[in-house]
Amino acid sequence: MTHSLPDIIAPRLAVLFCGINPGMLAAATGHHFAGRSNRFWRVIHLAGFTPDEIRPENDRQILAYHCGLTTVVERSTARADELTIEDFTSAAARFKQKIGHYSPRFVAFLGKAAYTALSGQRDVPWGLQTATLEGSAIWVLPNPSGRNRAFTLDQLVATYRQLYLAVQAKADEGDASIF
């Protein structure tokens, strides 16, 4: 049985964090980044996005900090490498429409896999991209999954902090739609 995960989204968020697809536990519980080994909630707190670490069962609280959550592919899997190029191809139009409808300032892809599949680019750098998606700036961050041990907690926090500082810079420029 395949489960999906509801978006936590609102119009004109500062950041829409985009996971690749729901993990099995997240889909079963209905809460984003529910796995014990997933470092997302800790990382965004330490990077400055939230004053306290949000628990997965309270994931809707992220909206209070002008951030939201979605996945590129709705189908849940035990591992992201179980997805096919067809999964991304069939999700592309729906995902692009969602971004256009909600107009977040930044779309933050958590991992390179989803963005490379959607953009058709083979080599994508970490951080801010030159392209935009429906008017939203694109940022690529390392995946915080506990399976991704290529990045330490400190390295994850440092890369997510760069996005947080970019969001703050937009707010300091007087962009009333951020914070």
Predicted pLDDT at 177:
53
How far apart are alpha carbons 103 and 68 in whole angstroms?
12
What average pLDDT does the chain have? 89
Query: Average pLDDT for residues 12-22, to the nearest whole number?
Result: 92
CATH number among 3.40.470.10, 3.40.50.170, 3.90.79.10, 3.40.50.300, domain 15-172: 3.40.470.10
Nearest to 167 by CA among 59, 48, 70: 48
How far apart are alpha carbons 99 and 118 in whole angstroms?
13
The tens digit of pLDDT for each residue in 33-54 reads 998 888 999 999 999 999 999 9
Predicted pLDDT at 1:
44
Nearest to 12 by CA among 144, 134, 116, 130: 134
Per-domain boundaries in the chain: 15-172
The tens digit of pLDDT for each residue in 119-175 reads 889 899 999 999 999 999 999 999 998 777 889 999 999 999 999 999 999 887 876
The tens digit of pLDDT for each residue in 65-97 reads 999 999 888 877 777 778 777 888 888 889 999
Those residues with Cβ within 8 angstroms of residue 44's Cβ, 6 or more apart along the chain or in another chain: 17, 50, 54, 62, 67, 160
* pTM, entire model: 0.91
